[in-house]
Amino acid sequence: MSKPAITTLKELEDSGYNSKSIKEELRNNLLHNIKNGKNSFEGIHGYEYTVIPELERAILSKHNINLLGLRGQAKTRLARLMVQLLDEWIPVVEGSEINDDPLRPISRYVLNLIKEKEGDTPIDWVHRDERFFEKLATPDVTVADLIGDVDPIKAANLKLSYADERVIHYGMIPRANRSIFVINELPDLQARIQVALFNILQEGDIQIRGFKLRLPLDMQFVFTANPEDYTNRGSIVTPLKDRIGSQILTHYPQSIEIARTITEQEARKNNVQSDAVEVPPFAMDLLEQISFEARESELIDAKSGVSARMSITAFENLLSTAERRALLTNQEKTTVRMGDFLGIIPSITGKVELVYEGEQEGSAAVAQILLGSAIKTLFRDNFPEIKKLEKETERNPYDDIVNWFFDQTEFKLLDDLTDVDYKNELDKIKPLDDLVKKYQPDVDEKYAYFLREFVLWALVEFKKLSKYRLTEGMRFKDLYGSYISGI
């Protein structure tokens, strides 16, 4: 829909246009979507029965909203999607600094302009995409930044006294009138700055350098906050919390399937990369399981959380690792291998906050531990259990694989093997092929080799085999055979 053709106040009045507050816009458009079965928050997964219903109730109640949750829980994404619930175009008085509604003017400039020009007052139109303002709360934010200050240059140019309110330079919040205004990481905002928001949220009063302006700003405030900040850097002052209508708790994905959907949606991959690299579904499950393990790990600070961005960047690195190998071996296409997961370690080390014990281990070692834990979890879910203690007469499904390695000097999977050579190497271990076919009979044949290598890594984690990182790849050996040869 193009910009409406109405250009004057008289034309607007004659058209029958009715002014609505921004909260009425949001409420009416949300009601329309709900009645018509339309999803107002496309691209948000895992919140269908938790966060989104609470957010919709807050919008229907015309509340200002605080989204409280750990990092990487789509808080800002939710706020930005609220823009789609606004009317596509709204009229403003042309030249207004604070988007004055032509039928409900509030600024001195517009009141004087309408008094002077009456029906000929010029009208402009603002698209909903331009009605979203965002500010990251940092300790250096001032009242002048958010609310405004006296502008001595304006006073000098217009030859006005400092007692004239026309010398005021409006801050971000008045300029965001009739818009959605998001303040991210609210606890980081100094308490004295938070106090300046009290009257804006409640009465619409603004105080600047002694001026008391009655500006009934039409705003939808959305705040975001991280519970960690409450102890580390600050808190939301109680009177401000009291003025925020709804506080909504966000959370991380509650299943591997939801986490996979988010990662595949958000990862930045180009068409060339998508065509060149195939990713086994099992590899995606393993990638997501690493984040689930990290959120439960005693080596990682649970209060800091583990952002969904970790899985997203890890997936991007996983694709790039496989793509790089394909380029080095002159292959047009390749499939992700277990060895490629070593390429995601840089994506993990910078995304987790370690406790003291984790610091002692080192971030790279913790990343390896998380990968090992994820392998063990998925292995238990898809293959027979490996018991710590077994009777001598008891035979387990992995004996043939272990015995195969006992008879070999060593087995290497080098990083730069072509797909054909990689498969040929794994084909040498016949018991490995038999095991995968028996316990994962429905797996696609092109992904079966990933599962075979996965089993080798899992047997290492369960102390059935040993694994050693070479400069050019990975070496697997029988655990006790390697010990004996060492002696």
CATH of the domain at 309: 1.10.8
**141-145, 380-384, 447-451, 481-485: lowest mean pLDDT where?**
481-485
DSSP state of 236: -
pLDDT tens digits, 186-207 = 988 888 888 888 878 876 667 7
Query: Domain range holding 204?
Result: 9-249
Higher pLDDT, 145 or 84: 84
Whether the predicted pLDDT of 487 surpasses 70? no
- 113 and 38 in one domain? yes
Number of domains the chain is built from: 3
Tell me the one-letter amino acid at 411.
Answer: F
Looking at residue 163, its pLDDT comes to 63
Tell me the average pLDDT of the chain.
Answer: 89
Looking at residue 282, its pLDDT comes to 95
Whether the predicted pLDDT of 386 surpasses 90? no
Whether the predicted pLDDT of 229 surpasses 70? no
Contacts of 203 (CB under 8 A, 6+ apart): none
Higher pLDDT, 352 or 396: 352
Residue reference for tokens 């690792």: 321
Q: Write the CATH number for 169.
A: 3.40.50.300
Tell whether 2 is covered by a domain: no
Contacts of 218 (CB under 8 A, 6+ apart): 21, 22, 101, 177, 178
Q: Of 360, 382, 404, which marks where a domain is finished?
A: 382
Query: Exposure pattern of 18-48 as b/e (b: 16+ CB <10 Å)?
Result: eebbbbebbbebbeebeeeeeebbeebebbe
Looking at residue 190, its pLDDT comes to 86
d(CA 346, CA 310): 10
Banded model confidence at residue 231, pLDDT cuts 50, 70, 90 = very low
- 402 and 470 in one domain? yes
Whether the predicted pLDDT of 283 surpasses 80? yes
| Residues 282 and 454 sit within 8 Å (Cβ to Cβ) | yes
- 480 and 332 in one domain? no
d(CA 39, CA 44): 10
Whether the predicted pLDDT of 134 surpasses 50? yes
- 303 and 168 in one domain? no
Tell whether 4 is covered by a domain: no
Q: Of 364, 382, 400, which marks where a domain is finished?
A: 382
- The residues with which 466 forms a beta bridge, in sequence order, are 477
pLDDT > 70 fraction of the chain, expressed in percent and rounded: 92
